[in-house]
Amino acid sequence: MKGVQLNMAAGIREFGRATPGRVAVVDGDHTVTFGALDERSNRLASATLARGIAPGERIAVLSDNRYEYFEISAAMAKAGIPTVPLNTKNNSPDNAYILAHSQAKGIILADELAGNVDGLLDGLPLVLSFAGEVGERYETFLGQGRAVDPQVPVDECDPFCVTYTSGTTGRPKGVLLTHRGRVLTAFGVGLDYGLGPNRSTIAVAPMHHGAGFAFAYTAPMLGGSCTVLSTWDPERLLDLMVASRASTVFLVPTHAQHLRRFCAEPAARYDLSALRTLYFNAAALPVALKEWVIAAFPGVDVHELYGSTECSIVTNLRPRFALERAGSVGHPWFWNEVRLTDDDGNEVGPGEPGELFARSPLLLAGYLDDEEATRAGYDADGFFSVGDVAVRDEEGFITIVDRKKDMIIAGGVNVFPREIEEAIARHEPVDEVAVVGVPDEVYGERIAAFVVGRPGTRIDVGALESHVRQHVARYKVPREWHVVEVLPRNPSGKILKRVIRDRYLARDEVPPSSGAQRREEID
């Protein structure tokens, strides 16, 4: 006989009964209490089931951050209907593939994003939009549902959502994330980063992304409150941190970059006395930027965590080691076992680079309708590849060397860009950098650096190259330097090196192997 199953709606149910009048979500002038969140998600779940959408069938969601994201997620968890979050940057062909592949039976969307699904909604049994300009009006439909929890039996190993990868190596894959994995992630986040009853956070990262959703939804799920930042703005974030008395906030490195550009000393200009924790994910936090964060938010615990859509959180570098071990991503996080292996599958020793695999109850249940990709991701012992190369020292601290796919092979020598990027980032005029491999007729690939300068500064490439030569081996010094206005990123903040390479190769004139300063925009 099965016991009680972990479910992503459990916290909303609990606090809807225990503290119905407490604020769960704030979105501009709109405030949602726990009682309202529980009731409204009951109504939406009931109305969706009554429309004929069955448990196990899927509903897509296309929206920027807003309060409805919370009640939609709770409602579908109650109904046993997995959500399919759509990236707001996707175009119609992207979404056409995902809607067809996921076999979504309906969609809930923000009206201003209707162009992203133009021509794709005919035939869907359920189309809801918040303003009602596309399909049925969300609020009207929700009001038709009974204010009774449908209590659909949901196994904790059933999918809570299907999150699609960015498709950098082909068609995007649908990652099946379970109720169990998401619930355990939430409880770990609450323990480590200070979320729970009477604690507040801000939804900064896009909620259609796995981490952005998990860290925002965890707040009301554990009895705390979440204030919604609908679109990214560093000044607006700082204002919300003051107004909401936010105690913990999740950011990606790009957010920190923008905060530094906007305000070098935020703690001196804003009342951030309630802030206790900042935690970072999605991309490596450059050491120089991390040093600024710690200095700019004195007395605030800074965590740097590491993971992936498929594996959730894998490691965490806790505040005690934030500066002492800057550059490391710490030790395996709750429930995780980590393995580093060579190309033959043998575990490597301390200080030796190896592909990083993780095993935990947080792992994906597989890729939707893609057994081949699912099998390829796992080893024989149930460890899943995170896709990065890492080293582990004698004390167990793990450092990510680089993405395996980003490794540069120059003259038969393996070169990992991250070490070079760290050296470049320490040059004072540099704001951001990406190092990639570009074609070379003699060496196969050569190292090219794409650098963004800090506002109001000019990058002297000669001085920058001299600086880098003092910190990396000669063969790792970039052969080409490109000073650019901006680096392309995905919504989670990761630099899109594939886009940089593609745009480089698409140019009419390829720079010579000797390299020279070039200024161009890559956006």
Q: What is the 3-state secondary structure (H, E, C) of 422-485?
A: HHHHCCCCEEEEEEEEEEECCCEEEEEEEEEECCCCCCCHHHHHHHHHCCCCHHHCCCEEEEEC
Q: In what order do the strands lie in the sheet with 225-228?
A: 30-33, 23-27, 225-228, 200-203
Domains and CATH numbers, the chain: 1-179 (3.40.50.12780), 407-520 (3.30.300.30)
In contact, 434 and 421? CB cutoff 8 Å: yes
Predicted TM-score (pTM) of this structure: 0.83
d(CA 131, CA 127): 12
- 318-327 pLDDT, tens digit per residue, is 999 999 998 8
Mean pLDDT in residue range 34-57: 98
Tens digits of per-residue pLDDT, 218-274? 999 999 999 999 999 999 999 999 999 999 999 988 899 899 989 999 999 999 999
Contacts (Cβ under 8 Å, ≥6 apart) of 136 = 126, 127, 128, 129
What is the band of 97 on the pLDDT scale with cuts at 50, 70, 90? very high
Q: Which amino acid is at 102?
A: S
Q: Looking at residue 412, what is its pLDDT?
A: 63
Which pLDDT value is given to residue 520? 34
Tokens of 235: 């000044």
pLDDT tier for residue 1 given thresholds of 50, 70 and 90: very low
> Smallest Cα–Cα separation from 432: which of 281, 260, 305, 280?
260
State how far the alpha carbon of 70 is from the alpha carbons of 7, 196, 198, in Å.
Answer: 14, 16, 18
pLDDT tier, 418 (very low <50, low <70, confident <90, very high otherwise): confident
Distance CA 345, CA 147 (A): 54
Position 383: which residue type? Answer: F
Distance, CA of 325 to CA of 81 (rounded, Å): 43
Characterize 395-433 residue by residue with b for buried, 16 or more Cβ atoms within 10 angstroms of its Cβ, and e for exposed.
eebbbbbbbbebbbebeeeebbbbbbbbbbbebebbbbb
Pairing of strands 408-410, 398-403: unpaired
Q: At residue 195, what are phi and psi to the nearest 5 degrees?
A: -105, 145
Predicted confidence (pLDDT) per residue in 181-226, tens digit = 999 999 999 999 999 999 999 999 999 998 999 999 999 999 999 9
Average pLDDT, the chain: 90
Structure confidence at residue 170 as a pLDDT band (50, 70, 90): low
Lowest mean pLDDT among 43-47, 99-103, 166-170, 269-273: 166-170
